[in-house]
A and B are shown apart, each in its own frame.
Chain A
């Protein structure tokens, strides 16, 4: 499996999903060789290093059914070309010179070469299926398929359309995504919503596309974690990358309307992203500077604390292939407003659903939750009940069905 960093070292939902899927698969007795890129400066230092000429290949954390192969590369989920350039400048000064790609695409190609070397050196165990997550791994995965002749599954967690608010984004990225999906024997999408995007925008044959929804683990939120929260004002939470895809601008507009009705509401923004400055400017322009608090990027328990502090969590995404955060909010008993333009809205009921562009309705629903206590309690209570029906085990079983379909076809 070609995937991404697990929590707590991940950024965003992709790592969480990879972790859940691997855990679910191994629980169902599937052996996984999990290959992932890691930025060298983030190495912990205690990894077992195998010197392999030009590249350092690091194999760490070999468990019963999982072998993790960590490869130094400047790839992290959701990285943009600009961010890559910043990162490579930083990394080059700290480590081994001009090893890395001049730009993101070169790095993706370098990653492909690296994986090819691993295969040829026999570092990758015998595998029956190649399973790759999101576009940056597709070229490597296609190469593996070519070399090994094994069936390929690409797992689509997001497309270039989602990342660009349903507009055509980068043509190169689009091209790699399309190539991956075309060359794959099966495509797994995280929602029917995304399935329809890749059928209509990428022209992929619907017969080889399978929807497998993500999940959330209920047990990972321990009840003994009792956060003492002292607060006076109601809190509305935005949590996610501050990018076009996540609809931060709609959040601010809705906040303005809410504050017209209930003035002393606090809006907490958790996350970073390229639209942060614009968001701050909008907040100031709309006279909401004293209502907004930008908390930056949070991890682990701090995220749970943010959910629990909030009276409501809002995910106004313009296009969200799945959206794990609403499930995390519900797991913390936080009432949730989600965009109808999301995969998660296909599978949850005990939340409020809105069109991301309908800021009046977003505000109407925020106000309703803040104003009508019974609504808040009911959403919280039923959200907690509903969340228990999701599990990565179930997701993994559906993935195994796709595996079996491909293996039978061979």
Chain B
């Protein structure tokens, strides 16, 4: 009997406001509160609230139904600040005993690539936050954008996780199927791989009228899954797929609503990531290079593919010591909010000339605009660090004197 594992990613970044160079040194308010509030409320209304309700109903009606979620610290902060109703609704869902929560970096960052220490701190922050809000202790880790390599697997093993999630990319799988549990090379934990074809059928192709399988119905999809005859199909996607990327009028909610019934008819069961982690691995996966779940390339090029992205992120992580030396909560949290991967995604110039999915998700006019805001803000943050650290050495001297 085939089982499915649903994992949905819930995330929103703190978008930057138009920050001009003339504000450097005068204004340490970096985030577009109005826009962030607007987007959060829009997504909550179109996606989070109806989908949370739908999942809670499915959990009630189907005793075997299970899902897992990974919720970033940045979206939790915004939910709590801007939309109490959605926050409470997530709380109810996340506390359900058949809902598993995953760990990741609190700020949905690329920290692992630049600072292991910072990475660890952010993962622990997330763990703490999840425990505080949901009283749960995640056992499975997912890194930002499913970015992954052997080294990361080893690192999170040391942090005590039982399994790690990544993309079932062809380049690491070769001829093998993603529908089994594997083990990472050099680490003694489990590796769970996204079945991108079946996941993307829902996430990207669901409403695509030129797709030959359009329209996708619950019976058809359940039939596909049941005919796989492999142990587990990992269906990983953004939570915003439901209602935001695929609008309500595409029938996405109806599809999800009927899926468990069709799964039952076709004898498709459910697993959570930590249940998968108890299964025996069928083989070892070697990922010496980074992979991710983005674009056709399945690499880092959406965030770190050009000169502006690389120079911005370098400048950000070069500040780490100075930032942490300040011990100033606000400075540190501002710095961390700038680490959210979305900021670098907005600077992506791949196919910018053609306009595409990157453009759709970009709140600014252009990748260059995103870069300018970001860099101007960093200049200000640097000044704040300098001032703070100067102040501290000064007061220290005074104490000595």
Binding site for B on A (CB under 8 A): 257, 261, 349-350, 352-353, 360-361, 363-365, 367-368, 371-375, 377-379, 381-382, 385-386, 389
Please state if A353 and B366 are interface contacts (CB–CB under 8 Å).
Answer: yes
Decide if B22 is an interface residue (CB 8 Å cutoff): yes
Q: Which listed segment binds A: B80-88, B181-189, B307-315?
A: B307-315
Decide if B398 is an interface residue (CB 8 Å cutoff): no
Q: A374 — nearest CB in chain B belongs to which residue? A: B311
Q: A383 — nearest CB in chain B belongs to which residue? A: B353
Please state if A368 and B308 are interface contacts (CB–CB under 8 Å).
Answer: no
Binding site for A on B (CB under 8 A): 20-22, 306-308, 310-312, 349, 352-353, 355, 365-366, 368-369, 371-372, 375-376
Please state if B353 and A382 are interface contacts (CB–CB under 8 Å).
Answer: yes
Instruction: For the complex formed, measure the closest distance between the CB of A318 and the CB atoms of chain B, giving whole angstroms.
Output: 20
Instruction: For the complex formed, measure the closest distance between the CB of A349 and the CB atoms of chain B, giving whole angstroms.
Output: 5
Please state if A364 and B368 are interface contacts (CB–CB under 8 Å).
Answer: no
Q: With A353-B366, A368-B372, A374-B307 given, is the CB distance from A360 to B22 under 8 Å?
A: yes
B20 in complex: contacting residue of A361, A371, A386, CB < 8 Å? A361
Please state if B21 and A352 are interface contacts (CB–CB under 8 Å).
Answer: no
Please measure, in the bound complex, the distance between the C-alpha atom of A367 and the C-alpha atom of B379, giving whole angstroms: 13
Please state if A367 and B21 are interface contacts (CB–CB under 8 Å).
Answer: yes
Instruction: For the complex formed, measure the closest distance between the CB of B375 and the CB atoms of chain A, giving whole angstroms.
Output: 5
Please state if B22 and A350 are interface contacts (CB–CB under 8 Å).
Answer: no
Chain A facing B: main interface SS: helix
Please measure, in the bound complex, the distance between the C-alpha atom of A242 and the C-alpha atom of B40, giving whole angstroms: 47
Instruction: For the complex formed, measure the closest distance between the CB of B174 and the CB atoms of chain A, giving whole angstroms.
Output: 33
Collect the chain B residues with CB atoms within 8 Å of residue A374's CB: 307-308, 310-312, 371
Collect the chain B residues with CB atoms within 8 Å of residue A368's CB: 21, 371-372, 375-376
Q: B374 — nearest CB in chain A belongs to which residue? A: A372
Please state if A360 and B20 are interface contacts (CB–CB under 8 Å).
Answer: yes
Please state if A261 and B368 are interface contacts (CB–CB under 8 Å).
Answer: no
Sampled A-B contacts (21; CB under 8 Å): A261-B21, A261-B22, A350-B353, A350-B368, A352-B366, A352-B369, A353-B366, A360-B20, A368-B21, A368-B372, A372-B308, A375-B308, A375-B371, A375-B372, A377-B307, A378-B307, A378-B349, A378-B368, A382-B352, A382-B353, A386-B353
Collect the chain A residues with CB atoms within 8 Å of residue B308's CB: 372, 374-375, 378
B352 in complex: contacting residue of A349, A364, A373, A377, CB < 8 Å? A349
Q: With A353-B365, A378-B308, A382-B349 given, is the CB distance from A372 to B22 under 8 Å?
A: no
Collect the chain A residues with CB atoms within 8 Å of residue B368's CB: 350, 352, 375, 378-379
Instruction: For the complex formed, measure the closest distance between the CB of B18 and the CB atoms of chain A, giving whole angstroms.
Output: 8
Collect the chain A residues with CB atoms within 8 Å of residue B349's CB: 350, 378, 382
Collect the chain A residues with CB atoms within 8 Å of residue B306's CB: 378
Collect the chain A residues with CB atoms within 8 Å of residue B372's CB: 364-365, 368, 372, 375
Please measure, in the bound complex, the distance between the C-alpha atom of A360 and the C-alpha atom of B372, giving whole angstroms: 14
Please state if B353 and A364 are interface contacts (CB–CB under 8 Å).
Answer: no
Instruction: For the complex formed, measure the closest distance between the CB of B342 and the CB atoms of chain A, giving whole angstroms.
Output: 19
Collect the chain B residues with CB atoms within 8 Å of residue A257's CB: 22
Report which residue of B306, B352, B353, B369 has the largest number of chain A beta carbons within 10 angstroms of its beta carbon.
B353
Collect the chain A residues with CB atoms within 8 Å of residue B307's CB: 374, 377-378, 381
Collect the chain A residues with CB atoms within 8 Å of residue B352's CB: 349-350, 382
Please measure, in the bound complex, the distance between the C-alpha atom of A384 and the C-alpha atom of B247, giving whole angstroms: 38
Q: With A374-B308, A374-B310, A378-B349 given, is the CB distance from A364 to B21 under 8 Å?
A: yes
Collect the chain B residues with CB atoms within 8 Å of residue A360's CB: 20, 22
Instruction: For the complex formed, measure the closest distance between the CB of A4 and the CB atoms of chain B, giving whole angstroms.
Output: 31
Collect the chain B residues with CB atoms within 8 Å of residue A349's CB: 352-353, 355, 366
Enumerate the 3 nearest inter-chain pairs by beta-carbon distance, A residue then B residue, closest first: A374-B311, A364-B20, A368-B372
Collect the chain A residues with CB atoms within 8 Å of residue B366's CB: 349, 352-353
Q: A379 — nearest CB in chain B belongs to which residue? A: B368
Q: A389 — nearest CB in chain B belongs to which residue? A: B353
Instruction: For the complex formed, measure the closest distance between the CB of A387 and the CB atoms of chain B, giving whole angstroms.
Output: 10
Please measure, in the bound complex, the distance between the C-alpha atom of A386 and the C-alpha atom of B312, giving whole angstroms: 23
Given A349-B355, A365-B372, A382-B352; 12 other pairs, CB 8 A cutoff: A350-B368, A360-B20, A368-B21, A372-B375, A373-B311, A374-B307, A375-B308, A377-B307, A378-B306, A378-B371, A382-B353, A386-B353
Instruction: For the complex formed, measure the closest distance between the CB of B68 and the CB atoms of chain A, giving whole angstroms.
Output: 39
Please measure, in the bound complex, the distance between the C-alpha atom of A367 and the C-alpha atom of B352, giving whole angstroms: 23
Please state if B311 and A372 are interface contacts (CB–CB under 8 Å).
Answer: yes
